A and B are shown apart, each in its own frame.
Chain A
C-alpha cells in the first residue's frame, strides 16, 4: 500500500495537502475557541465557581442588566449568602497603575482590586510568600499586595525576590507579601497583581467603597459543598429584597440577582459571535476538504477497478478490499494531521504578528498556542475525515468490483460519476458560502476603515501619562499636566500639542446629563480638552470659536458643542451659539451655567462603527479629572514618543508615559478584529477555491478519459478541437455554478448569523454575491482547463481502432 502511494506521488501529495489545509484551519479556530470560550482560569474546581449577575430596576420601570456591583451592595450580598457560599469581590476589568521598585523606572501594569480571601475562594495557592488575608482587607490595614509571577520576575528578576519588597503603586508604598504561580492572572486573565479592596480609596476615589450606587466591581461565589441551585436561587431572591430595602431610592427601586458560571459570565456576545462565524467557516472548509479527498479517492478507485476486480478473482473478499482502502485513507489523513499541526502553528504565529495587541475576549492573539488538546483535536478531526472521505469510496469501489466483475472493470465503468458530480456541487457550494462570508466581512472592514471620522488621524501621536495618585491629586496633577503640555509643545517636530481626557476612538468619555435653560435634561458625552485639541485633530469649526487663552481657570465657564449636541439641545448650530447649559457633574459650580461659544464638527469618539455621539467639550483648565492623554501633531509622530517620555521623566521619573501610539494605529486597532475575521474567511475562501478547482480537475480528468471514444467520434464527424475544449470547460463551469447557486441559497439562510458583525453592508449584498460567483466560475474554468486541453488533443486515429 505504501508502495502504491509512493508510486502515485501526485495523488498522495494532493490528498494529503487537501486534508492538511482543512485540518490545520480547524486547529487554528479550535485553539481560539478553546482559549476564549472553553478554557477556564487555572483555579481549583473552576466549574463550581459562579459570578453574580444583577438587574437594576429603575423607578421608570427600565431594567438594566450587568455584573457590576457597588461595594456596599457586595457587602450586603456577602452576608446574605454566607450560608450557601463564600463571596469574594474582584475587578473583572483591572485598572492600570504605576508600579515602581527602588530607583528603577516605573512600569504601568493592571492590578485587580480584590476581597481579602479572593485567592482562597479561588483555591489558588501562592508560589512564594503568603496569600492575601481577610485581615489585609479592613480599613486601616497596612497596604500589601500579591504580585503575579510574570510581573514579579519583570520587576525583581527572580519571583521569590519580590516577597517582602516595597513596591510603590501610584506613589503609595505597598509590601509584596506573596507571588502567585505562573500562568495565573486572576479571573480577568490580565492581572499583574492583586490589591485588597480596602486600598481602593487610596488608589482610586476616596468614596469608592461607600457609594451604594457606584457600580464598579464584580463578585465570584464558591458554593459550599451540597448547596443546590434551588437553595442558591432562593437565597439570592431574599438578598434582592434586602438590598433593595437598604439601598433603593428614588431612582433605583429594585435589585434582582442570579449566578452565572464562569464561561457564561465572560461571554462577550460579540466575541462569541465572531468565533461562531469562524467555526462555521472552518467546518465548511473541512467538509470541503473531505469532499475533495473523497473525490480524489473515488477517481483513484476507478483507476484501480481492474486491480480490485483481479484481486477478487484471485480470492480476496470485499472486507479485505474495504480494509485496504480504509487503511490507505487513514494513512493519508494521518500524514495530513501531522502536516496540519505545524501549518496551524505557523498560522497562529503569523496572525499574532499581523494583528499585534488584538485580543479575542480577554485572550490576546499572541497567547494562543497549540497544545496537547490541539493535537488530540487534529487526530479526532482526521478520523472523521477518514470516515467521510475514505469509507464511502472504499465501500463503493469494493461493491463495484464485486458486482460487475473483471470484464466490466476492463471496460472502464462510469459508475460513481453522479457521486463525484455531487461532491463537486458540494465543494462549489461550500466555497461560495465562504467567499460570500469573506466578501461581506471585507466590505464591512473596508466600510469601517473608510467611515468619515470627523477628524484627521494622520500624523498624530497619542500617549497617556501614568501619574502616581499619591503624589498627584487635584491641582498638583493639573500643574504637572500643564507643564508637560507646555514643554511638549516646544519639542522639535511638534506642530501642535494638545491634551484631552478621552480622545477618540476609545469611547472612554463619560455619559452625563446636561440641563439647558428651559430645565430640560439631555444625555450628552463629556470631554475635557486643551486649547489646541481641535487643531491637533483638524476638527472643523462650524460656528463661533474654539477655546482660547481667556478660557482658563477662573475665566467665565464656556463650552464648545459638537454639531449633534448643538442640534439635540438647541435645534441648530446657530441657535446653540450663546445659549447656556449646566452639566450633571456639578459644573459650573454654585448653580452657574456655561455659555456655548462654538460648535465643531461631529467625530466618532466611540469606535468606528458607532455614530458620532453628542459631545460637549469643556476646557480642561475649567474642569479637570487630573488625567488624560496627550496629542502631538508632527510629521513623524512615532519619533515623538521618546522625546515626550524624556520631558516627563525629567520632571518626575515615577511618572510613566505609556500606550504611546499614533492615532492611525489606534484607528487600525479599532477594526483589527473585523479585519482578522475578514482575512481568515478570505484565506478559507481562497483555499476553498483551490480545492474546488482541483476537485473539478480530478473529476473532469476522469470524465475526459472515459469519454475519449466519444471525443474521437466527434472529431471524426467534424468537431473542431475548440468545440471539445469548450464542451469540457463549459461542463466544469456549469457544474461549479450549479453548486454556487446552492451556496448562495445557504448564504441566504445563514445571513442572520453574520448580520450583527457587518457594518454598512447588507447580508444579501448583490456585489459580493456576483463577485463570489465570478470567482467560483474562474476556479471551475481553471480546474477544467487541463482536462479540456487534453480532450481537445484527442487523436481520433488512436481512439477509433478496431476493438
Chain B
C-alpha cells in the first residue's frame, strides 16, 4: 500500500499569526513528505507492506515505526489548525476538561508545561487514557499514544523543526502561539469518536 501525503486543509500562509508560511513549507512540504517517502521505500517486502499506519504504530519497530508514526503524528497535528478556529471547546468535552484539570486555562497551562519540558525532540499529547480519563502525556521522537492503548485528541510538535525558523530557542513562545490556531471543533469531534 502506497502512503500519500494528505492535503493541508488550508493555505501555507493561513496560520502565519502563529506559524510562518516558510515553516509550513518546510515542515509539511519537506519533513512530512520525507516521512511518507521514507515509509514507502522501507515497507516493500516486509510484513508492513499492506499495513495501515495504525498497525505500523502498534507493531513496527525501528525505521518503519519512526517514519510511519511520524506520518500519522504530523497529519494529526496539521489537521487541528485553522485560520478561523473555534477558540474554546464546549459541551461535554469542555465539562470534562474543567473537571479533570480545574479550568480550561489550567488545562492549557499544564499541556504547555508538558510541551515546554519535553527534552529533545518529541510531542505533547492530550489523550483519553486506558481508564477513560483525559490525560496529558509526552512522547519522545516519533512516540505515539496509540501504542499504549490511549486515544489521542490533540498534539503539539516540539521537534525544533516545528518552530526554529520562527522562534529559535524560544519554544515557550511557539507553544503560546500554537493555542491561537487550534480549532476546538476538531478536537471535540475526536473526543466524540473516542468515547
- Co-complex (A, B): no
